[in-house]
Structure 1
Amino acid sequence: MPSRLRPADPLAVAAAIDRLSAGTAERADLRLLVKHFLALLEDKAPGASVEVRVPPYAAVQVVPGVRHTRGTPPAVVETDAETWIALATGSMAWVDALTDAKVVASGERTDLSVYLPLG
């Protein structure tokens, strides 16, 4: 199992969010925010029954339940960086992301709305 991600420095997160809001975010800002919010999700929803993927930046296994160890996970959530950050910060609702096809979620326990926003 891959090592757990670590939350980023709060000042770096705030600066990256400011740049994202201003439309001046760079790839490094997206990477920092994606990994930061995935790390918070790991803390809030420990487990390994759902794989959350935000390509090309990172993927984590979260949510209590049957542990996935090999091959394609039975439960997967996948989205882009901007959508993940919006979900994590509460500027987009889970149901809206699903309705607008900004998130693909398949399998049991993939409703992450109980864990979002992350803060």
Structure 2
Amino acid sequence: DLVCYDGGSPSSQCVESAALPFRKRMLAEEDSNNNASSSTELLKGACIVCDDVPARDMTESGVDCSSLGALGAMCKEDGNWLANRFCRRSCFEAGFGYDGDVCCTEGAAASRLLRKSRS
């Protein structure tokens, strides 16, 4: 799908929607169509399967992502975590997802994999 937007210039630009980061796709889609239903349609299927890889010091200490109590501070404020996106799924599920991440639920992820394998 192509997403077109003017970006403040006199001529319109069109790019493949898959080439844009998620938030930019959402903004471009809203800008070009200027209605809420297109944003909702884009959001359906825009999730990604997020991993839950802990930081090395967590692994060495036997701590996993789901049991870490300081997720908010780590996911949103720690530079090392922001750069490496540790515990992506746990951060997202706790409401502290990394910018641009929309993680699929287990059921949605399985459904997406089934659809892809049929085509």
TM over 0.5, yes or no? no
- TMscore range, shorter length: under 0.3
Q: Which one has a larger percent strand, Structure 1 or Structure 2?
A: 1
Larger radius of gyration: 2
Q: With the length of structure 2 as denominator, give the TM-score of the two structures.
A: 0.21
